[in-house]
Amino acid sequence: MSPDLIVQQALNGISFGALLFILAAGLSLIFGMMDVVNLAHGAFYMLGAYVTLQVVRSTGEFWPALIVAPVALGLLGLALEPTLLRRLRGRHLDQVLLTIGVGLVIVDLIGLFWGREIRTLPLPPGLDRSIDIAGNAYPTYRLFVIVFAVALAAILTYVHRRTAVGALIRAGVDDAEMLSALGVDTDRLFAVTFAVGAGLAGLAGVIAAPAFALSPGMDVDALIYSLIVVVVGGLGTLGGAAVGAWLVGPADTFGKVLFPQFALALIFAIMAVVLLARPSGLFGRARIGR
Amino acid sequence: MSDMAGVKLSRRKLLIAGGATALAAACGGGTTTAPTATAAATSAATAAATAAPTLKIGMLLPFTKVYAELGNSMKRSTDLYLKQAGGKLAGRPVQVIYEDEANDAQISLQKTQKFIDQDQVDLMMGIVSTAIVYPLRNTIDAAKLVFIETNAGGNFLTREVPDCKPACKSKYIFRSSFSSWQISNPLGEYVSKKPDTKDFFICASNYGFGTESAADFVAGLKKNGGSETGRVLPPLGNTDFAPFVTQIKGQPTKNVFSFFSGTDAIGYIRAWNQLGLPAAGYKMFGAGFLTEQDVLKEVKEQAVGAITSLFWSTELDNAENKAFVEAFTKEYPGAQVDVFAVQAWDGMKMLDEALKKTGGNTKDKDALIAALEGVSFKSPRGDFSIDKSTHNPIHDMYIREVKVVGGKAVNSIVDKVGKVTDPGK
């Protein structure tokens, strides 16, 4: 590979990793707080993408979707947590099974409502061009995805570290029972966490929609990638999602072009090695009292 | 009415019983059972003459997962054909039993067994994926179930293959679609006649249909001294195509044989444009699925200039195609008329023509097979006939280029390779 090709592939990998970060952050957050691997996460992502399609169809604009889809998914999460997940609290495996069901229902409803044909969205105006990087045309939208993910990471980090909500989340991740004993309404905290996680999945769907095609099956791809990211990075921590995403994205990109025979095996191999060396992931922490 | 239905039902049961006895006799071959078989055959013939029993077709198509829209399109086409035929073929009322292929070989095997044991269908049609029809080949063959493949193009399904691995032709298996060789080999041979399109870089989906088509294309190139300069093989159902298109950009070879379909084709063509390959002088070639209707309606002008080969296009100028496109569009406004619909249509047409010859009889398998082997008609794709030795269609292959006609990106016909026959024996 020539140097300018390496630069281009690195950008491809980083921008893919940026999308994976947005996707995995929500999954990681929900797991950290509620100990539930939300297998409906891929379906939430897909729904976010289809809401974007709807927004573009009705308004002709892409940008409102950045607000509409996360809010819509957040409301869905806010409704699902108390009505379904809360009833099975403490039964983690049952909750995981429940999320599989929720995911299947959402995907089928999407097919019913928007059809099962392949759909695409044009790149938003202003970001539909390419700019010159190292003598090669590179699409500005992919650069935007990197910038967006970095900004989102900064905002999430700030909320996580510096705000009261962040303190509650950190405390909940460490020991939800103790938090409850201290008088915090954990029911509300769990509902909000689930809503934020779902909203983040929706946001990833919005960002992905103009770049990739919308079709049945996109939920499964997204779920697998995000699971790998959080397992590598460490479940339940924001830093873990970031490190995992920016490791898996470029590894996937370079792996696919350099070792096509092992394209899919490579990221699973990374996952296996990380799990052997650090069973709780690179940034995962041993939990208290569980 | 209910009485009538009761009579019909009992007759059908009688027929099935007769058929089963005949089958058992044929398998057993014992002298004592021979008279029974004759009697059953006679009673079947009498029953068929007095009241036409329902013709049951088991149709296995994907209605969920990634190929769902292909299944929907083929169902639309089948339903339209039957509607135009008044719900009858050769005087027999038709019942189509649809089952979901679900892109799963195990589920498809169960559904096929259901067609054979429970529904006791007269014949079976459908199946989109080669990966699903290959393992079903022996089941269909062993059940002596006449089957018309309406999509999957795996070469081996209609060829003589040592040890029948991964599949091979069967007396009972016909195809109304194509073999992948028929699409990619003529394209390779066609382009390599010109001096500036002899050498190609390959970018193909890494699965049976993709790599098989790439090999057929390269074999076609070699007939005129062309060659392959290298390849990248993205996995099937790939999400991000930028890495692969970036690799192409590092190649000195500007002609790229690209085998993708559906979401993969859309992702590939979009990445191709976003990374500025047209401006850098790269040119896209491929099997027609690269720019089929499902893809073209999404990528539109981004595909302009792509050269593909296929046995059909919306732009094909013949009376059958015009009538078909018009009827389909009228019946299903908003739905795309695509090559999959044409394949399903021709599957029904094949059956219709054959049944006319047998007088609607499907019990005499040999007569039905002989009739299917002899079909020849005008299809929306042009002249259509069946190769007797392989049961694969013989049809023209069109060289198409994506052009904007009347503000719409279409697969415009630029040339034709006549009467392409699969080299299988």
CATH number at residue A32: 1.10.3470
CB-based contact (8 Å) between A119 and chain B? yes
Q: Rounded to 5 degrees, what are φ and ψ at A131?
A: -120, 165
Give the best residue of A121, A128, A130, A215 to mutate against chain B (max B CB count within 10 A). A215
Lowest mean pLDDT among B6-10, B135-139, B239-243, B294-298: B6-10
The more confidently predicted of residues A242 and B38 is: A242
Q: How far is B196 from chain A (nearest CA, A)?
A: 25
Closest-approach residue (CA) in chain A for B262: A118
Task: Select from A111, A221, A257 the Cβ nearest to the Cβ of B243.
Answer: A257
Q: What is the pLDDT of residue B50?
A: 56
Q: What is the pLDDT of residue B227?
A: 96
What residue numbers bound the domain in which A13 lies? 3-118+134-277
Determine the residue type at B381: R
pLDDT digit string, tens, across residues B263-279: 899 999 999 999 999 99
Cα separation of B137 and B160, whole Å?
Answer: 13
Lowest mean pLDDT among A109-118, B192-201, B249-258: A109-118
Helix (H) or strand (E) holding B294: helix B293-299
- Residue B379's DSSP bridge partners are B382
Q: Rounded to 5 degrees, what are φ and ψ at A64?
A: -55, -25
Q: What is the pLDDT of residue A287?
A: 52
Please report residues of B whose CB lies closer than 8 A to that of A221: 237, 239
> Which residues, numbered 328 to 387 in chain B, qualify as contacts with chain A under a Cβ-Cβ cut-off of 8 Å?
336
Cα separation of A124 and A14, whole Å?
Answer: 20
Closest-approach residue (CA) in chain B for A2: B250
CB-based contact (8 Å) between A64 and chain B? no
Residue A93 lies in a domain: yes
Are the Cβ atoms of B66 and A217 closer than 8 angstroms?
A: yes
Q: Kindly tell me if the per-residue pLDDT of B44 is higher than 80.
A: no
Residue A286 lies in a domain: no
Cα separation of B377 and B345, whole Å?
Answer: 12
Let me know: does B178 contact B394? Beta carbons within 8 Å. Answer: no
The more confidently predicted of residues A7 and B31 is: A7
Closest-approach residue (CA) in chain A for B72: A116
Helix (H) or strand (E) holding B238: none
Cα separation of B33 and B267, whole Å?
Answer: 61
Residues in contact with B86: Cβ distance below 8 Å, sequence separation at least 6, in sequence order: none
Residue A124 lies in a domain: no
Q: Name the band, by pLDDT with cuts 50, 70 and 90, for residue B5.
A: very low
Closest-approach residue (CA) in chain B for A107: B65
Please report residues of A whose CB lies closer than 8 A to that of B235: 256, 263-264
The more confidently predicted of residues A135 and B392 is: B392
Let me know: does B61 contact B126? Beta carbons within 8 Å. Answer: yes
Q: What is the pLDDT of residue B241?
A: 95
Q: What is the pLDDT of residue B21?
A: 44
Q: How far is A176 from chain B (nearest CA, A)?
A: 37
Domain count, chain A: 1
Please report residues of B whose CB lies closer than 8 A to that of A210: none
Average pLDDT over residues B74-96: 97
Cα separation of B134 and B131, whole Å?
Answer: 6
Q: What percentage of residues in chain B have a pLDDT greater than 70?
A: 88
DSSP H stretches of helix in chain A: 3-34, 41-59, 65-83, 92-114, 140-162, 164-181, 186-208, 218-233, 238-258, 263-277
Lowest mean pLDDT among A258-267, B248-257, B289-298, B312-321: A258-267
Are the Cβ atoms of B69 and A12 closer than 8 angstroms?
A: no
Let me know: does B424 contact B179? Beta carbons within 8 Å. Answer: yes
Please report residues of A whose CB lies closer than 8 A to that of B102: none
Lowest mean pLDDT among B66-70, B145-149, B169-173, B376-380: B66-70
- Residue B400's DSSP bridge partners are B308, B413
Q: Kindly tell me if the per-residue pLDDT of B391 is higher than 70.
A: yes
Q: How far is A166 from chain B (nearest CA, A)?
A: 33
Lowest mean pLDDT among A266-280, B215-229, B361-375: A266-280
Let me know: does A8 contact A143? Beta carbons within 8 Å. Answer: no
pLDDT digit string, tens, across residues B133-147: 999 999 999 999 999
Determine the residue type at A137: A
3 state SS of A117: coil
Average pLDDT over residues B64-83: 92
Residue A194 lies in a domain: yes
Give the best residue of A112, A117, A132, A144 to mutate against chain B (max B CB count within 10 A). A117
3 state SS of B421: coil
β-strands B55-61, B92-100: how paired?
parallel
The more confidently predicted of residues B149 and B235 is: B149
Supply the pTM of this predicted model. 0.85
Q: What is the pLDDT of residue B236?
A: 85
Average pLDDT over residues B6-35: 43
Q: How far is A259 from chain B (nearest CA, A)?
A: 10
Let me know: does A225 contact A47? Beta carbons within 8 Å. Answer: no
Give the best residue of A53, A116, A130, A131 to mutate against chain B (max B CB count within 10 A). A116
Task: Select from A8, A116, A221 the Cβ nearest to the Cβ of B69.
Answer: A116
Average pLDDT over residues B236-243: 90
Are the Cβ atoms of A118 and B263 closer than 8 angstroms?
A: yes
CA dihedral sign, ordered B201, B203, B207, B210: negative
Closest-approach residue (CA) in chain B for A119: B298
Cα separation of B115 and B59, whole Å?
Answer: 9
Q: How far is A74 from chain B (nearest CA, A)?
A: 25
Are the Cβ atoms of A260 and B274 closer than 8 angstroms?
A: no
Task: Select from A119, A136, A216 the Cβ nearest to the Cβ of B249.
Answer: A136
Cα separation of A45 and B304, whole Å?
Answer: 32
Cα separation of B241 and B265, whole Å?
Answer: 10
Are the Cβ atoms of B298 and A111 closer than 8 angstroms?
A: no
Q: How far is A14 from chain B (nearest CA, A)?
A: 11
Are the Cβ atoms of A118 and B262 closer than 8 angstroms?
A: yes
Q: What is the pLDDT of residue B12?
A: 46
CB-based contact (8 Å) between B244 and chain A? yes
CB-based contact (8 Å) between B138 and chain A? no
Q: How many CB atoms lie within 10 A of CB B67?
A: 24
Task: Select from B238, B280, B298 the Cβ nearest to the Cβ of A118.
Answer: B298
DSSP H stretches of helix in B119-238: 130-142, 180-191, 208-222
Task: Select from B65, B232, B242 the Cβ nearest to the Cβ of A216.
Answer: B65
Q: What is the pLDDT of residue A286?
A: 55
Are the Cβ atoms of B299 and A260 closer than 8 angstroms?
A: no
CA-wise closest residue to B133 among B97, B171, B96, B169: B169
- Chain-centroid distance, C-alpha B346: 9
Let me know: does A270 contact A247? Beta carbons within 8 Å. Answer: yes
Determine the residue type at B167: A
CB-based contact (8 Å) between B211 and chain A? no
Please report residues of A whose CB lies closer than 8 A to that of B62: none
Please report residues of A whose CB lies closer than 8 A to that of B267: 212-213
Residue A284 lies in a domain: no
The most confident of the ranges A128-142, B29-43, B150-164 is B150-164
Please report residues of B whose CB lies closer than 8 A to that of A253: 240, 242-243
Please report residues of B whose CB lies closer than 8 A to that of A215: 66, 262-263
CB-based contact (8 Å) between A109 and chain B? no
Q: How many CA atoms lie within 13 A of A121 on its CB side?
A: 30
Let me know: does B15 contact B44? Beta carbons within 8 Å. Answer: yes
Residue A127 lies in a domain: no
Are the Cβ atoms of B274 and A123 closer than 8 angstroms?
A: yes
CB-based contact (8 Å) between A114 and chain B? no
Would you write out chain A's pLDDT as a tens digit for each of its 290 residues?
Answer: 788 889 999 999 999 999 999 999 999 999 888 888 999 999 999 999 999 999 999 999 999 999 999 999 999 999 999 999 999 988 888 999 999 999 999 999 999 999 888 899 999 999 988 888 877 889 999 999 999 999 999 999 999 889 998 899 888 888 888 898 999 998 999 999 999 999 999 999 999 999 998 988 899 999 999 999 999 998 778 889 999 999 999 999 998 888 877 767 888 888 999 989 988 888 876 554 44
